[in-house]
Amino acid sequence: MDCMWTDATFILFWLHVYTWLPGHCHLYNNRYDGDKVIRIVPKNDIEAYELKALYSKLQVDLWQPSSLSYIGKDTVTDVRTSNNSSQTLLTYLRNSNIQHTILVNNLQKVIEKQNVSGTQRYRRSLSRYNYEEYHSLDEIERWMHHMNKTYPHLVSMFSIGKSYEGRPLYVLKLGKKASRFRKKAIWIDCGIHAREWIGPVFCQWFVKEALNTYHLDPSMKKILTLLNVYIMPVFNVDGYHYSWTTDRFWRKTRSKYRFNCFGVDANRNWKVKWCEEGASLHPCDNTYCGPYAESEPEVQAASQFLYKQRKHIRAYLSIHSYAQMLLYPYSYQYEAIPNYHCVASAASNAVHALQTAYGVLYQHGPASSTLYLSSGSSIDWAYNNGIPYTFAFELRDTGYYGFLLPESLIKPTCTETMLAVKNIALHILKKCR
Ligand SMILES: [Zn+2]
């Protein structure tokens, strides 16, 4: 019978409807079709100089390192290029015999394959929140309200201000309420850079693990009894939202001053050696320091909060990706910090703890010499304002997936990072001289 509504025709019907639904178009309007990510290593200063001029002309998106100023001889550089400019760049590399590898051949295809936009995903209830998925800003905020309501004895939630586009800047405070003494604290922020999606995932993972293991794990019990942990899952809320809706590789905030380009690098905007080495004065650059220090309301709100709490906060942690590094001050100079031995041993122990999970190796050291010189960074600001332990984590990986770390790697990445963060928390409870 022709018109019988069999299972097969039913499926075909839905496939047909599905492909014509307005939501089923290419993610991000197919803007990354043909984009490549190419790893390039100049072997001498002349090659580096010529490449930098070409990157600038082609307006490539630097993934690692984040600014042209960091590129020199032997610098491993991951660049994203559009379909047109990648042909120019590849021809140049071949003709000049410069070492390079194509890490991603068609970025759009990788994004489509991962399809984590959330629009077509089945929405689970908040009590069955999936911590092994990337979540939109809206989902993360609803989750924060839910955690605040569900664990009133261990969690409180507040906003430290408003973003440029007027969104609240929410922070969760975790810890057993103490009546007799003022507790020491740790601050963890994630998502200063919008495209580093593994950051906000880790902040949520930390909260989940802390609350789930509080009664089972004596070290977690100790941490939450003796310390308050402030968690800011999405620091750069406007940028993060934009990275979900419009440009997956957006890094900066979304402010607009008197220029054609949007956004400021929220990790170059702090009032510490503002806009000196390793930051750009050009509003279109990814490391633009802003028109003045703390021009970004997100940076201003966080620095005001941290400054008020500086006598209690013993450690400041900022979660980034990607590089697999644990960095501490200074970023802006090569000089060692006064309590170098305490901080360096905390970092070394944390990295060893991390490695015990899956054998993943992290480099550790001062940000200036381990990664590159940068001014106006949050770890330098926090350190210079009296917080004795300040770290920036650069999570997985080292460039194979880069900012598109697949969801299947969320669990191992967060599990190992959790060990490092707990190790630091326990370290600061001990005296170090
Ligand atoms: Zn970052």
Mean pLDDT of 367-391: 96
Distance (Å) from CA 217 to ligand 1 centroid: 31
Residue 27 has pLDDT above 60, yes or no: yes
Task: Give me the phi and psi of 31, to 5 degrees please.
Answer: -70, -15
Residue 24: what pLDDT?
52
- Give 300's contacts (C-beta < 8 A, 6+ positions apart): 161, 294
3-state secondary structure of 76: coil
Query: What digits encode the pLDDT tens for the residues 344-362?
Result: 999 999 999 999 999 999 9
Instruction: Work out the pLDDT band at 107, boundaries 50, 70, 90.
Output: very high
Q: Name which of 309, 311, 314, 306 is nearest 430 in CA terms.
A: 314
pLDDT of residue 121: 56
pLDDT for 3 equals: 43
Output the pLDDT for position 26.
86
Residues annotated as part of the active site:
394
Q: Between 15 and 112, name the one with better pLDDT.
A: 112
pLDDT grade for 21, boundaries at 50, 70 and 90: very low
| Cα 355 to ligand 1 centroid, rounded to whole Å | 22
Q: Is 126-429 a domain of CATH 3.40.630.10?
A: yes
Question: Is the confidence at residue 401, as pLDDT, over 90?
Answer: yes
Q: Residue 17 above 70 pLDDT?
A: no
Contact between 235 and 190 under an 8 Å Cβ cutoff? The reply is yes
Altogether, the residues listed in the chain come to a count of 433
CATH topology of domain 29-114: Alpha-Beta Plaits (3.30.70)
Side chain identity, residue 154: L
**Which residues, at least 6 apart from 123, have a Cβ–Cβ distance to it below 8 Å?**
none
Query: pLDDT tens across 159-183, in order?
Result: 999 999 999 999 999 999 876 778 9
**Ligand 1 centroid to 320 CA: how many Å?**
4
Q: What is the CA radius of gyration of the chain?
A: 23
Cα 321 to ligand 1 centroid, rounded to whole Å = 6
Q: Domain ranges for the chain, please list them.
A: 29-114, 126-429
Task: Identify the sign of the CA torsion 271, 277, 281, 286.
Answer: negative
User: How is residue 409 written in tokens?
Assistant: 């790697």
What's the start-to-end Cα distance of the chain, in Å? 86
Query: For the residues 89-94, what does the mean pLDDT come to?
Result: 96
Residue with tokens 């960074």: 377
